């Protein structure tokens, strides 16, 4: 609803990142809670890089 590529409501970048942090951060916390801290750490790094790249290229003006 808020963070999808074709979201109905397009909040500013800070709002999109907050929603993604809550949802994806919760999944990383769940993996950590199952007793796999290394996997949760790797998952968190991959999520951060993927989200950063996706938002950068989505908001970049077309050339």
User: Is 29:36 a contact under the CB 8 Å cutoff?
Assistant: no
What is the percentage of the chain residues whose pLDDT exceeds 70? 94
Name the burial class of residue 3, with classes exposed (0-12), middle (13-18) and buried (19+) by CB atoms within 10 angstroms of its CB: buried
* pLDDT tens per residue across span 23-51: 889 999 999 999 999 999 999 999 999 88
User: Is 11:1 a contact under the CB 8 Å cutoff?
Assistant: no
User: Is 17:6 a contact under the CB 8 Å cutoff?
Assistant: no
Q: For the full predicted model, state whether its pTM sits above 0.75.
A: no
d(CA 55, CA 58): 5
Please report where in the chains the tokens 């908001």 appear, as a residue.
59
Q: Is the pLDDT of residue 62 over 70?
A: no
Q: Is the pLDDT of residue 2 over 80?
A: no
């Amino acid at each position: 609803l808020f963070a999808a590529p074709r979201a109905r409501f397009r909040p500013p970048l800070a709002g999109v990142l907050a929603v993604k942090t809550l949802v994806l951060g919760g999944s990383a916390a769940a993996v950590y809670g199952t007793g796999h801290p290394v996997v949760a750490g790797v998952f968190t790094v991959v999520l951060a890089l993927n989200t950063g790249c996706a938002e950068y290229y989505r908001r970049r003006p077309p050339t």
